């Protein structure tokens, strides 16, 4: 083994993604720029979709159904995406998915234009939101298993968490910038439904611009050396084989993770409504050079998301390093616990801007365990099988999580007895968030009792 290779295996630099980017290595620059563009566009829009849909007249159940359709897409897109890539090559596949995402943002932008049309008992504007979702999530859901496999093959087993921290740090920088863009664009507007729609259309216009630029840049400049990701997939039988042969260490993780993600899925899409419509918390402050600044709840929510992601970025790398000394299990359990506890803390929070800032900073800690979580998924896999193991794991988890958001919508908004038509449950956001926390805590406890690490981290 060469001295350079030995040195590379000694230390994985979590900031390497940024160094490669600023060194202007072409393929790294192109794909990193595209990742940033689409992550920014999706993050600055998707976290506000419940507010946008509510302003357009959607019920709580329909908002929850939007989250459930998103879960379906997350579960089923990766495999067709791989088949398309095999058929036309990754360069053209990435371009096609980029065009789809940009078109989806455009449909969301134009949805209010058909709000006054008639389509039976359905709102054409809300239907357009769902059509846009099918397209907008295309680029985001592409290539998950391939990313895991590449990190698995490039990083020593004992450094996997740090390796994933490198990729996560770069991608989630867009998650920090996107909500701050949204907060700035919401700032001049008030909190009426009409103003919310207008402000969000400006945000969507920015998302369309980023998506268009990202698509063009990656198509013109991206030249993959080897365009063969996923060509060895053997069909549905291979998927069932991968599920049966999943490493035993992953099964407790999968159970705990699925429960935690189901709980989070019940309420995630409603976080914005808790801040803007349930608590109605904005921010008033006085700046020396500017004077009095009044942020609406919609604008302040973007600031809260920025705080959440800033904490995530600051803690992800040191926590990944800590996992090398204390093991993956406690770090993953920390992330699960934050996922579980946050909903009940948020729904019971006082209408105080400082308290919400602290809560969203706490929520950022859930991302700190994400690199260790990914390492725990792919670590026990045989070399060369990381992508298949990851794909099988996420497909099974995401399929089970699909109905979570719709269930949360029913608990938030209430539902009628299907036999009599009488109201069976009036709906209560506090009940929805409390049940979500209970399910999340069960998943966390299960993982703590039965979860395992793997040899490199023992």
Whether 127 shows a pLDDT value over 80: the answer reads: yes
Neighbour tally for 252: CB within 10 Å = 17
Per cent of the chain over pLDDT 90 is: 43
Supply the pLDDT for residue 318: 85
Is 71 domain-assigned? yes
Question: By the 8 A CB rule, do 134 and 281 touch?
Answer: no
Overall average pLDDT of the 130-140 stretch: 88
Higher pLDDT, 422 or 105: 105
Helix (H) or strand (E) holding 372: helix 370-378
In a domain, 143, yes or no: yes
Q: pTM (2 decimals)?
A: 0.84
> Could you tell me if 201 and 109 are in contact, meaning their C-beta atoms sit under 8 angstroms apart?
yes
Would you give the distance in Å from CA 424 to the centre of its chain?
A: 33
- Is 122 strand, coil or helix? strand
Q: Over the stretch 193-238, which tens digit does the pLDDT of each residue have?
A: 999 999 999 999 999 999 998 888 877 876 655 444 444 445 556 6
| Rg of the chain in Å (alpha carbons) | 22
Query: Residue range 327-341: average pLDDT?
Result: 91
- Cβ–Cβ under 8 Å, residues 156 and 300: no
Least confident of 242-246, 332-336, 341-345, 431-435: 242-246
341 belongs to a structural domain = yes
Nearest to 401 by CA among 375, 436, 447, 427: 436
CA atoms within 13 A on the CB side of 283: 21
452 is in which domain, residue-wise? 14-224+234-457
CA separation for the pair 425, 435 (Å, rounded)? 15
Cβ–Cβ under 8 Å, residues 184 and 296:
no
Between vectors from CA 369 to CA 368 and to CA 375, what angle results, nearest 5°? 125
Q: Do the beta carbons of residue 107 and residue 49 sit within 8 Å?
A: no
Q: What is the DSSP string of 49-112?
A: HHHHHHHTT--HHHHHHHHHHHHHHHHHSHHHHHHHHHHH-HHHHHHHHHHHHHHHHHHHHHGG
| C-alpha span between 267 and 28 (Å, rounded) | 36
Q: Is residue 9 part of a domain?
A: no
Q: In this structure, is residue 81 part of a structural domain?
A: yes
* 335 vs 244, higher pLDDT: 335
The answer to whether residue 72 scores a pLDDT higher than 70 is yes
* Separation CA 335–CA 340 (nearest Å): 9
pLDDT single digits (tens) 145-181: 444 444 454 456 655 555 555 555 667 788 889 999 9
Residue 6, in any domain of the structure: no
pLDDT computed for residue 234 by the predictor: 52
Query: How confident is the model at residue 433, as a pLDDT?
Result: 98
Look at residue 7 and tell me if it is in a domain: no
Mean pLDDT of the chain: 80
- Give residue 7's pLDDT band: very low, low, confident or very high (50, 70, 90): very low
Which residues are CB-neighbours of 298 under 8 A, at least 6 positions away?
48, 51, 186, 189, 191, 196, 199, 276
CA distance 355 to 346: 9
Residue 50 located in a structural domain:
yes
How many other C-beta atoms are found inside a 10 Å radius of the C-beta of residue 205?
14
Cβ contacts of 5 within 8 Å, gap of 6 or more: none
- CATH of residue 90's domain is 1.20.1250.20
* pLDDT at position 41 over 80: yes
Minimum mean pLDDT range among 235-239, 256-260, 402-406, 409-413: 235-239
Q: For the chain, what is the domain count?
A: 1
Question: Looking at residue 384, what is its pLDDT?
Answer: 43
141: pLDDT strictly greater than 90: no
The rounded percent of the chain whose pLDDT value lies above 70 is 72
């Amino acid at each position: 083994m060469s001295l350079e290779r030995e040195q590379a295996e000694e230390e994985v630099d979590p900031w390497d993604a940024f160094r490669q980017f600023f060194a202007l290595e072409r393929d790294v620059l192109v794909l990193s720029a595209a990742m940033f563009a689409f992550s920014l566009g999706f993050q600055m829009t998707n976290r506000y979709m419940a507010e946008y849909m509510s302003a357009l007249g959607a019920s709580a159940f329909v908002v929850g159904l939007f989250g459930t359709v998103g879960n379906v897409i997350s579960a089923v897109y990766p495999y067709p995406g791989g088949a398309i890539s095999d058929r036309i090559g990754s360069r053209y596949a990435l371009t096609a998915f980029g065009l789809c995402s940009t078109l989806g943002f455009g449909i969301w932008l134009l949805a209010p234009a058909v709000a006054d049309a008639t389509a039976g008992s359905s709102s054409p504007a809300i239907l357009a939101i769902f059509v846009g979702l099918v397209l907008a999530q295309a680029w985001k859901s592409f290539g998950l298993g391939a990313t895991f496999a590449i990190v698995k093959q490039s990083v020593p087993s004992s450094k996997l968490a740090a390796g994933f921290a490198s990729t996560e740090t770069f991608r989630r920088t867009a998650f920090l910038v996107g909500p701050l863009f949204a907060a700035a664009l919401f700032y001049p507007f008030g909190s009426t439904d009409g103003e919310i729609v207008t402000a969000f259309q400006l945000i969507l216009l920015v998302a369309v611009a980023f998506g268009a630029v990202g698509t063009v840049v990656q198509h013109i400049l991206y030249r993959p050396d080897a365009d063969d990701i996923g060509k060895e997939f053997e069909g549905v039988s291979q998927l069932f084989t991968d599920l049966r042969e999943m490493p035993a260490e992953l099964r407790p993780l999968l159970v705990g993770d699925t429960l935690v993600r189901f709980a989070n899925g019940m309420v995630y899409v409603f976080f914005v409504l808790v801040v803007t419509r349930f608590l109605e918390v904005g921010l008033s402050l006085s700046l020396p050079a500017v004077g009095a600044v009044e942020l609406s709840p919609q604008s302040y929510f973007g600031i809260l998301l920025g705080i959440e992601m800033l904490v995530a970025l600051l803690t992800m790398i040191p926590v990944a390093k800590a996992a090398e000394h204390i093991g993956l299990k406690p770090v993953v359990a920390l992330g699960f616990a934050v996922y579980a506890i946050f909903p009940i803390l948020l729904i019971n929070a006082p209408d105080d801007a400082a308290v919400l800032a602290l809560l969203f900073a706490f929520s950022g800690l859930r991302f700190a365990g994400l690199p260790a979580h990914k390492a725990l998924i792919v670590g026990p896999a045989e070399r060369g099988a990381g992508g298949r193991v990851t794909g099988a794991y996420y497909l099974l988890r995401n399929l089970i999580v699909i109905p979570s958001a719709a269930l949360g919508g029913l608990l938030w908004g209430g539902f009628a007895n299907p036999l009599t038509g009488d109201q069976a449950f009036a709906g209560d956001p506090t009940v929805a968030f409390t049940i979500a926390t209970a399910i999340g805590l069960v998943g966390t406890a299960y993982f703590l009792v039965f979860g395992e690490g793997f040899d490199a981290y023992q």
